[in-house]
Structure 1
Amino acid sequence: MGYRLSKIYTRTGDAGETGLADGRRVPKHHPRIEAIGCVDELNSQLGLLLADLQEARSAALDQLTSVLAPIQHRLFDLGGELAMPEYRALGDQEVERLEQAIDAWNEELEPLKDFILPGGSRLVAQIHVCRSLARKAERRCQQLNLEEPLEGAGLRYLNRLSDLLFVAARIAAKRQGVAEVLWKAADKPT
C-alpha cells in the first residue's frame, strides 16, 4: 500500500468545512462528521483499554484482548463507511462474531440482579467508558441515518458492541477478582 497521507495539514478546513472521501465538502458539525468523530473517539478509548490490558499481563484477561483488538480495525472500517457512503466493509459476520463472544462470556457470569456502576478497578471503569462511547457513536449514527439512510451492518455492529463491552466489564471484574459496583438507590425524600 502506498502513502496515504503525504501532508498532514491542508488548510482546506480552516473555514469550518471538511472533505469526505467522495469529494463532497460538508460543515464540520454535519451529522456525518459527528458520527465519524464519535467512532474515532471510541476507537481511541478502546486503544487505551487495550494498552491497559497489555500492561496487566494477565492470562485471565488475554481472551479479552483477543476479542477486543480486532474491534479497533472494524471501527476504522466503519469510519471508512461513514466517510465514503458507497463503501461497505462491515458485514453480518462481524455482528455475529460479537454475539458469539457475548454468549460465551455470559455463560461464565452470574445473572444480573442489580444495576452495575462503572468501577471496581481502573480496567473495568475503562471498559465502561468504551461502552458509553459505543452508545454515543450509535446515537450519532442513528441521527445521521435519519437524514441520510445508512446501509450495511454498521448500526447493528455498534449496538452489539456496547452490549459486548458491558459483558466484557463484568468478565474483567470477575477475572480480576474485584467486586462489581452495585447501584444503591437514594433514600426516599422526606
Structure 2
Amino acid sequence: MDYSKKESNKDHYINLGKIYTKRGDTGETSLLNGQSVKKSSIQVEAYGIIDEANAVMGFAKSLVEDEEIKTILTHVQEKFILVGAYLSAGADYDTCVKEKITKQDVEYLEKHIDEYNKRLLPLYKFVIPGDETSSASLHIARTVVRRAERAIVKLSESIKFPAEILKYINRTSDLLFVLSRIEDDNRTINYIKSRLSEALRVGGTDKKIYSFQNLTLENAKRIVAAGELKAKELKKDFVFTVVNAEGNLILQEKMDNAILISVEVSRKKAYTSASLRAATADMAEMIKPGRSLYTLQNDPKYVMFGGGIPLFKNEILVGAIGVSGGYVEEDLAVARECEREFKKILEGK
C-alpha cells in the first residue's frame, strides 16, 4: 500500500490517482516522508504486514454474521491504515501524520475485549482453529497481527514510535482471539436454537418434527421392560425415563437399587435427546473445547454422555429414552436395548 500523503479537507494517506508509478521496478519504494528505501527494509516489511493484516481482517469480516463484530473490525481496519502511515513516516511521523493513535484508541479495544470475554467460558486447553470458517479466519488475522507486532518491535530498535502504536497492535491480536471464540459461540447458539425450535415447534410444514401419538404409556412400559431385562443381565439397577417429542414425561421407572442421582440424570438424557434429536453419546465429542456444542457443557438442562436416544418413526421424532445407573457404556447398552424394543413395536411384533 502506498502511504504517500494527499492534501485535502480530510486527513488521507493514500494517493490512488495512479495505480502504478514504476518507482518500485528497481526494488525501491518511497516512504511517507519522501525517503527512498529498499523494499527489503524492515520498515517496509512492518507496514507491509500491517497492510496484510488489514486485508485478512477484511476477509474475516466478510464471513462474520454478527453486525457488532463487523463494526468493530471496520473500526480497527481504519486504525490500521493510520498505523501503516506511522510506520511509513518513520521518525518523521509527528510532522507527516496528522491523526494520532491515542490512549483512547487502546481503551476502545480493551473495553470490547473485557465485555466479550465476560461471555466466554473458561479455557482448559489450547484452541485448535477450524471448526468454524469465520472464527478460523479471525485466528489467521490474529497471527498476522502478531507477526506485525514482531516486525514493529524490530523496527523500534532503530526508530522510536509512540508507545500507543505497539499497545494498539498488541490489544488488536487479543481482541481478535476473543472475537474468534465469540464467533464460535454464536454459531453454536444459533445451531442449538434451530435444533430446539425444530424439536419443540408444533405446527408448520415440516412433518418430521410433529409429535406422534403412537408412543403411548403402554409402549413406554414395554420399552422400559426390555431395558430392565438387559439391566438384569448386567446385574445392575437403572433408572428409565421416556419422554414425548416435546420432551414431556411419559414414564419414569427406578429399579430398586438404582442410585438417586440417576433419576435426574436419566430425565436429562431423555430431554437432551428429544431436544437435539440426537443420541447423547454422539454429542460427547461436540462439547469439547473449540467444538460447536462447547457452550452446552455447563448448561444444567442437558447431559452429553451415553444413555439418551431419540426415537423415530419414519424419520419423525416421537420421543426419547434416557437411561442412567451404570457406567456410560452400560447405560448406552441398556438404552440401545430399549431402542430395539421400540423398533419391534413399530414392526408390529
- Residues 24-39 of structure 1 correspond to what in structure 2 (within 5 A)? 24-39=35-50
Tell me the CA shift for residue 8 of structure 1.
1.9
- Residues 147-162 of structure 1 correspond to what in structure 2 (within 5 A)? 147-162=158-173
* Contact preservation (8 Å) 1:90, 1:152: no
For 1:51, give the aligned amino acid: S
2:58 aligned to 47, 66, 69, which one? 47
Q: What is the distance in 1 between the residues matched to 2:46 and 2:136?
A: 24
* Contact preservation (8 Å) 1:124, 1:170: yes
Q: What is the distance in 1 between the residues matched to 2:72 and 2:21?
A: 37
* Contact preservation (8 Å) 2:61, 2:70: yes
Report what 2:137 is aligned to.
126
Structure 2 residue matching 1:26: 3-state secondary structure: strand
1:163 aligned to 164, 174, 184, which one? 174
Between 35-44 and 110-119, report the one with greater CA deviation. 110-119
- Residues 17-166 of structure 1 correspond to what in structure 2 (within 5 A)? 17-53=28-64, 56=65, 61-85=66-90, 86=93, 87=97, 89-166=100-177
Report what 2:186 is aligned to.
175
* Contact preservation (8 Å) 1:121, 1:173: yes
Tell me the CA shift for residue 29 of structure 1.
0.8
Q: What is the distance in 1 between the residues matched to 2:177 and 2:40?
A: 29
Q: Which runs of 5+ in 1 are unaligned?
A: 183-190
Off by >6 Å, runs of 4+ in structure 1:
none
* Contact preservation (8 Å) 2:50, 2:80: yes
For 1:98, give the aligned amino acid: L
Structure 2 residue matching 1:117: 3-state secondary structure: coil
Alignment partner of 1:10 is 2:21: yes
For 1:81, give the aligned amino acid: Y
Output one character per residue of 1:51-83: Cα deviation in whole Å (capped at 9) or x when no partner: 112xx4xxxx22211222111100001011111
Q: What is the distance in 1 between the residues matched to 2:22 and 2:180?
A: 41
Structure holding more strand per residue: 2
Q: Which runs of 5+ in 2 are unaligned?
A: 1-7, 192-285, 292-349
TM-score (normalizing by structure 1): 0.86
Percent of paired sites with the same residue: 34
Tell me the CA shift for residue 38 of structure 1.
0.3
Tell me the CA shift for residue 152 of structure 1.
4.4
Report the RMSD for the aligned CA atoms in angstroms.
1.8
Tell which has more relative contact order, 1 or 2 (C-alpha 8 A, sep 6+).
Answer: 1
Which one has the largest radius of gyration?
Answer: 2
Tell me the CA shift for residue 6 of structure 1.
2.1
Aligned residues: 176
Between 3-12 and 70-79, report the one with greater CA deviation. 3-12
Tell me the CA shift for residue 89 of structure 1.
2.0
Q: What is the distance in 2 between the residues matched to 1:175 and 1:10?
A: 45
Structure holding more helix per residue: 1
Q: What is the distance in 2 between the residues matched to 1:130 and 1:5?
A: 25
